[in-house]
């Protein structure tokens, strides 16, 4: 039997490598383009997907269906990944990227602040310069530790994205940390719309009551322009099903919200 190796296992995708001076390392940017990107002059909203090394295949495969079912517009998906060769390397890297040293149990060399700078000052401008994007319509997706980072980005730079999707975001760590550092979010001077989709599994006992505390804090109208959408997945733990549900339900709900 003869076989040929193809370099394109995922349809309509490509990879870019960008060196970040903020962090001092390469990022692998996995890009999934809309079906008609090559034949149109249209510009598209962008979903920035954290944990790109492991989440990108899911997102690249599922995103077109949201458009086909008219639950979201056509989207460019950018998976932000690392130059790693194993799940162990990816796991160590993500814990450094998505937390700060003063978060409980975080690595002492963690640097979410520098990664946020790399994302907003280098990665996003690179994507905007090389693809037809809608700069006013960016989403940020993360789950577990990267869900923590989505909330960190919201609290630190609430105007960087229009839509935030945070699934099971280590809330037992995130909520005590973030609520003490909410000045950027609370002092926001504009009422430009922001949608936050916040999800958790019903059986994730360690996430409660922190989920309820965050919902009460963000849902009382004190953040101008913020629309909070929450979902508790029945019968779910901190599992891979929550990864996909957060992505699919989250995009559907934030676009339904406006």
Which CATH number belongs to the domain containing residue 149 in this structure? 3.40.50.1820
Tokens coding 86: 């194993």
- Whether 29 is in a domain gets the answer yes
Cα torsion 203, 204, 205, 206 to 10°: value is 170
Residue-level pLDDT at 6:
42
Write the pLDDT tens digit of every residue in 163-196.
999 999 999 999 999 999 998 888 877 778 999 9
Write the pLDDT tens digit of every residue in 17-35.
999 999 999 999 999 999 9
Residues 168 and 77: beta-carbon distance below 8 Å: no
- Find the helix packing angle between 87-97 and 52-68, rounded to 10°: 80
The per-residue pLDDT of the chain, averaged, comes to 93
Residue-level pLDDT at 66:
94
Residue-level pLDDT at 114:
98
What's the domain range around 101? 13-256
Phi and psi angles of residue 115, each rounded to the nearest 5 degrees, phi first:
-65, -40
Query: What is the three-state SS of the chain?
Result: CCCCCCCCCCCCEEEEEEEECCCCEEEEEEEECCCCHHHCCCCEEEEEECCHHHHHHHHHHHHHHHHHCCCCCCCEEEEEECCCCCHHHHHHHHHHHCCCCCCCCCCCCCCHHHHHHHHHHHHHHHHHHHCCEEEEEEEEEEECHHHHHHHHHHHHCCCCCCEEEEECCCHHHHHHHHHCCCHHHHCCCCCCCEEEEEEEECCCHHHCCHHHHHHHHHCCCCCCCEEEEEEEECCCCCCHHHHHHHHHHHHHHHHHCC
209 CB neighbour count, 10 Å cutoff: 12
- Whether 7 is in a domain gets the answer no
Taking the C-alpha atoms of residue 134 and residue 148, their distance in angstroms, rounded to an integer, is: 25
- Whether 109 is in a domain gets the answer yes
pLDDT category, 7, cuts 50, 70, 90? very low
Write the pLDDT tens digit of every residue in 40-64.
999 999 999 999 999 999 999 999 9
- Whether 2 is in a domain gets the answer no
pLDDT category, 2, cuts 50, 70, 90? very low
- Whether 125 is in a domain gets the answer yes
Residue-level pLDDT at 69:
94
pLDDT category, 8, cuts 50, 70, 90? low
For the chain, what is the domain count? 1
Answer yes or no: is pLDDT of 100 > 90: yes
Write the pLDDT tens digit of every residue in 226-251.
999 999 999 999 988 999 999 999 99
pTM for the whole thing?
A: 0.94
| CA angle at 161 for the pair 236 and 256, rounded to the nearest 5° | 60
Closest alpha carbon to 131 in 235, 33, 198, 63? 33
- Whether 3 is in a domain gets the answer no
- Whether 86 is in a domain gets the answer yes
- Whether 225 is in a domain gets the answer yes
């Amino acid at each position: 039997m003869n076989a040929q190796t193809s370099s394109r296992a995922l349809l309509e995708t490509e990879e870019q490598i960008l060196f970040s001076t903020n962090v001092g390392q390469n990022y692998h940017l996995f890009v999934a383009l809309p079906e008609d990107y090559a034949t149109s002059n249209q510009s598209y909203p962008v979903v920035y997907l954290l944990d790109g090394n492991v989440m990108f295949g899911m997102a690249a495969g599922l995103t077109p269906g949201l458009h086909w079912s008219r639950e979201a517009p056509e989207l460019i998906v950018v998976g932000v990944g690392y130059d790693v060769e194993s799940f162990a390397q990816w796991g160590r890297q993500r814990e450094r990227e998505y937390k700060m040293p003063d978060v409980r149990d975080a690595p002492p060399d963690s640097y979410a602040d520098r990664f946020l700078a790399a994302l907003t000052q280098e990665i996003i401008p690179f994507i905007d310069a090389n693809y037809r994007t809608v700069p006013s319509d960016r989403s940020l997706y993360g789950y577990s530790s990267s869900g923590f980072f989505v909330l960190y980005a919201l609290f630190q730079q609430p105007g960087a994205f229009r839509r935030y999707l945070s699934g099971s975001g280590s809330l037992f760590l995130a909520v005590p940390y973030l609520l003490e550092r909410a000045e950027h979010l609370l002092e926001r001077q504009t009422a430009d719309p922001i949608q936050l989709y916040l999800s958790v599994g019903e059986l994730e006992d360690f996430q409660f009551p922190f989920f309820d505390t965050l919902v009460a804090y963000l849902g009382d109208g004190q953040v101008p322009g913020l629309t909070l959408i929450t979902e508790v997945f029945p019968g779910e733990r901190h599992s891979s099903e929550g990864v996909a549900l957060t992505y699919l339900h989250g995009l559907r709900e934030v676009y339904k919200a406006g």
